């Protein structure tokens, strides 16, 4: 298994730090885990768009991104309550809509849960 393949199976914040052999404050990671992983995931997605094909450079970027995100939170960055709760208040109704209110094809499915009627149904049978 390549180092890149090893990276792709990681799931926990601590696993990412251990993979890159980085020191971190366990309390900071514990308290801000969701935010760290969210921002880190956004940076990983950008890296994959830009550096397709060179796994070593990609892993270097991933390490840099993790350090950058962690340092922001370690130095006191805290997302506003509006940033945190907007994820719950305005869930995406479909892949092409930014919020459930911007899609004309959104319909309530059950008890306040909405879905885009123009999206095909998914089946995992």
Rounded-to-integer distance, Cα 84 and Cα 103, Å? 22
| Residue 75 vs residues 8, 30, 84: alpha-carbon distances, Å | 28, 15, 19
pLDDT in tens, 48-75: 777 767 888 889 999 999 999 999 888 7
The string of pLDDT tens digits covering residues 71-82 is 988 877 655 444
Helix axes 26-50, 55-74, angle to 10 degrees: 140
Q: What percent of the chain has pLDDT over 90?
A: 38
Burial (0-12, 13-18, 19+ Cβ within 10 Å), 17: buried
Report the pLDDT value the prediction gives residue 79, as an integer from 0 to 100: 53
Quote the pLDDT of residue 92. Answer: 46
Supply angle C-alpha 37, 53, 58, rounded to 5. Answer: 35
């Amino acid at each position: 298994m390549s180092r890149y393949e090893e990276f792709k199976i990681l799931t926990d914040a601590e696993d990412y730090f251990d993979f890159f052999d980085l020191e971190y404050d366990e309390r900071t990671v514990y308290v801000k885990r969701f935010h760290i992983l969210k921002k880190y995931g956004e940076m990983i997605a950008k890296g994959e768009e830009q550096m397709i094909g060179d796994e070593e450079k990609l892993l270097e970027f991933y390490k840099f991104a993790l350090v950058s995100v962690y340092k922001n939170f370690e130095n006191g960055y805290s997302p506003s309550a509006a940033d945190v709760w907007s994820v719950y208040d305005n869930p995406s109704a479909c892949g092409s809509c930014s919020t459930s209110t911007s899609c004309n094809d959104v319909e309530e499915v059950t008890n306040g849960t909405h879905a885009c009627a123009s999206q095909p149904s998914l089946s995992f049978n």
